[in-house]
Amino acid sequence: MSGQAPDNQSIESKIFKPGQMVGPYVITRWIPGGRGGMATVYQARLHNQGEPVALKVAHVGLGDFLKDEAAFLRILDLDHPHIIKILPVPLGGGSTEYIVRDPASDSWYFAMEYMAGGSLEDWLRRRKRLTLEETVKVVRQVGSALDAAHRLGVLHLDVKPSNILFAEDPQKTDHIQAVLTDFGIARPRGRVGGRALTLTIEYASPEQARRAQGEEVQVDHRSDLYSLGVLVYEMLCGRVPFRGRNDEKVLRTIVTEEPPLPVKGLPDEVNRILAKALAKDPEERYQSARDLVNDLEALLPADARPRRRPILTLSFNPLLGILLGFLLGLALGIPLGRWTAALFPETSPTPTATITPTFSATPLPTDTLTPSITPSPTTPPPTALPALKPTHTATATATATETLPPPTSTRRPTNTPTRTPKPTR
């Protein structure tokens, strides 16, 4: 893949070349696939030293979008293993900021962890389609990230292969580590407004398609789950369910036509899961990513399912505890009154804050420990969105009745040194 900047100059923006500086960062290259509707992503190094980072630089006039995205990533600062991490930008005097305007270029930017393994889009371009086990690994991790965002009331609204990045090339490792990135058009639940958001049509939910056509319809977390269903369909079938050259026609098809199911070559159980994931009515879909993953995992061989850590449960008999404590007190010469006071101290209950969640979903298991949530400062509501033209992603075509060939086997090189990635894009 080339590290040169893209030729398409239809979006007004400053193109930075290797060696140029943005704030304290030195650009090393443009990241392939990193040019979007609102920003361009570069690989860069702080003062040209240390580990690379992914530097996201807003296009002219779209700094507010970048501010919104940085705010959402700060809200989602759970240290979640499958959500891209935003990094503090060091400024003069030892201070740091998460979203900064570069005075030399008048460009807004922020830094993220750099993911060295490319994107799901890259993987599908090489492999066309994945095995069920590979698909479940990716969906489990991306679904965990979506459920975490949804519990905080944040909608991603642009779930697609290019927004799923890997710490290492998934074709060269058995340990797939995926992260969800690009919260550029993410919105709080209930604040999805405007006739048209930046949209990748093939992955849009029926609700998003109807809104892009001018209808006033509600968009909630189940829109992201529909897009996740499109990803499952594409990973297993090698194509998206709806595509075409005419954007308006594709939007109408997403709203009015059923997805091409069943797909020959897929088990009936998988076809049923896809039908539920891609239901037109949000009420008929999966209500959380965890539910979707549970159904997919049930189709895997027992040795391919994630191991659940057993929970050790200890029972305590109060009478036995009193008896043992009494005998111990006698043996040590401790007066009975002092022992009972120490065992059952009179304390006032500690007041606890009551939290009302905006959305309840059982978190997905990950290969790491459950992250702790650190409260973040209240973020002001995002600014109003300008209407942006939906984008179109070309995807390989195939008919629903086509019998799927077996997936290409994953190539694994020998004696490949282990890399410790500093993850994104």
**DSSP run (H or E) holding 164:** strand 164-166
Strands 96-97 and 49-58: unpaired
Distance separating alpha carbons of residues 35 and 399, to the nearest angstrom: 31
265: left (phi over 0), alpha (psi -120 to 50) or beta: left
Measure the CA–CA gap between 27 and 25, rounded to whole angstroms: 6
Under 8 Å between Cβ of 238 and 128: yes
- Measured distance CA(301)–CA(305) in Å, rounded: 7
- Three-state SS for 188? strand
Tokens of 353: 């804050």
Number of C-alpha atoms within 13 angstroms, CB side, residue 198? 19
- Residue with token string 């086990």: 133
3-state SS, residue 163? helix
Q: Are 149 and 76 in contact (CB under 8 A)?
A: yes
Q: What is the torsional sign of CA 257, 402, 277, 183?
A: negative
Contacts of 221 (CB under 8 A, 6+ apart): 146, 150, 155, 189, 359
Active site residues: 158
Give the H/E segment covering residue 231: helix 221-237
DSSP single-letter state for residue 76: T
Residue found by looking up tokens 């282990």 in the block:
418
